[in-house]
Amino acid sequence: METLFANRDDAGRQLAKRLVHLRGQPVVVLGLPRGGVPVAAQVARALGAPLDVIVVRKIGVPLKPELAMGAVGEDGVRVTDRHGRASVIGPEEFAAAEAREKAAVSARAARYRSHRPRKPLAGRIAVVVDDGIATGSTARAACQIARARGAALVMLACPVAPPGSEARIGTDADEFVCVETPADFYSIGQFYEDFSPTTDEDVIACLGLASTERTAPAGDSAAAAANDELPDHGVEVQPTAGSVQLTGFLTVPQTAQGIVLFAHGSGSSRHSPRNQYVATMLHQARIGTLLFDLLTEDEERHRDNVFDIELLARRLTDVTRWLRTQPAASRASIGYFGASTGAAAALWAAAEPDLGVAAVVSRGGRPDLASPRLTALTAPTLLIVGELDSLVLGLNRDAQAQLRCESELAIVPGATHLFEQPGTLAAAAALARDWFLRHLSAP
């Protein structure tokens, strides 16, 4: 039997190498007590990020407690096993086991947080870390807690898991990162040379050491400082577009470089974790954002509206004019960020000669749907496409050939249309940030 890791510290260092692209971004690392915390501590140290815990407890199968039939966690989160292990006992016995684990969650959380308030997750990247994944019940519960606390992007990371774990996690995590997925997986401990139990004292020591490291003198960790300097959260606004009132979130950091309006693709909204993730990275660069829905709920029910690029572009144009009437944005430089069909709307609207749009970024966009307006576009335009998104990549190459403005086509290696592969969304967001920093100017 091959061992992959000397101990949890070694596993954490190996895992951190898969996450280095997150350094300097608004990350909070969340260890799953107990065994996941030493692994998470190494990840947090490598990223210069704050360390916290999410307390979850496995509901074990009777006589086989290492096998989960569900999990419970903080904030009342509850996950039951999808494969029916909970059916091996009666509902009363299961309820009793669940109650015991809920009590354990409350007691453990109180102990770990006696002098340490929770790290805020709103608008940040939550990296949920365990020492390994078997059934995935506890990991799924932890991811649900992180999302409920407002994380813009939830990543699940572990050193080892059985093949097919990503499918079992499903949509509970936006990204899944794992060092090894061996075919001969029987238990997490088989891949560790030292898999001795982690105690509550060990967890508290990890949290205390991480806190000490992050209060080191200024200059010791620029990345750590960046995580503590997020701007205030945005305010809900109701921009008008013609006779329609829409809903959005406007965030304008002090000394903002400009404001970027987001045009979401079909099936997406202002709540999109991917667009919120990009927005958070822009906030870190002191760029404001307006995330809003181009259509009302009633309009979205009609599929024709979703692909009516002229309608979507008109909405974006109207909201841009509305934004310029707001005191916080009256003199701001304006940029557009569009995804999928929203990118076509952004390109179409940016060609309006009197809007004065300073820059456009398209991520996985459909510029072909804005073909009648491409030659009129004057704003510097960045087209970001995944390397493996072959059809859309061809459409973007053809569109760039029609552009007469400054333009670039950036291809993200290993990415598909939704940039779901580890690190690809971060790469696309960084490209967008750098483009807007280059072309938006402070008022």
Do the beta carbons of residue 349 and residue 320 sit within 8 Å? yes
Do the beta carbons of residue 420 and residue 428 sit within 8 Å? no
Q: What pLDDT is stored for residue 441 in this prediction?
A: 78
* Pairing of the two strands 64-73 and 78-80: antiparallel
Kindly report whether the global pTM for this prediction surpasses the value 0.85. Answer: no
Do the beta carbons of residue 337 and residue 276 sit within 8 Å? no
Q: What is the pLDDT along the chain (443 residues), one digit of tens a residue?
A: 578 999 999 999 999 999 988 888 899 999 998 899 999 999 999 999 999 998 888 776 665 655 566 777 777 676 766 454 545 566 777 777 777 888 877 888 888 877 678 899 988 999 999 999 988 888 888 898 898 888 999 999 999 999 999 998 988 899 999 999 999 998 999 999 989 888 888 888 788 777 655 544 433 333 333 343 334 446 889 999 988 999 888 998 878 889 999 998 776 777 777 787 888 889 888 899 999 999 888 887 787 887 899 999 999 999 999 999 988 788 889 999 999 999 999 999 999 989 999 999 999 999 999 999 999 999 999 999 999 999 999 999 999 999 999 999 999 999 999 887 777 888 999 999 999 999 997 55
- HSE at residue 258, side-chain half, CA atoms within 13 A, is 22
* Whole-angstrom distance, CA of residue 94 vs CA of residue 313: 54
The CA-atom distances, in angstroms, between 210 and each of 31, 55, 167, 279, 287 are 12, 18, 32, 27, 30
Q: What pLDDT is stored for residue 224 in this prediction?
A: 37
Q: What pLDDT is stored for residue 229 in this prediction?
A: 38
> Which residues lie closer than 8 Å to 433 by C-beta, 6 or more apart?
281, 282, 284, 285, 287
Do the beta carbons of residue 280 and residue 290 sit within 8 Å? no
* Whole-angstrom distance, CA of residue 273 vs CA of residue 118: 21
* Whole-angstrom distance, CA of residue 249 vs CA of residue 247: 7
Q: Cα(first)–Cα(last) distance of the chain, in Å? A: 63
> Which residues lie closer than 8 Å to 35 by C-beta, 6 or more apart?
8, 130, 131, 132, 197, 198
Q: In this structure, what token pair is assigned to residue 137? A: 């019940």
Domains belonging to the chain, first-starting first, are 8-225 (3.40.50.2020), 231-439 (3.40.50.1820)
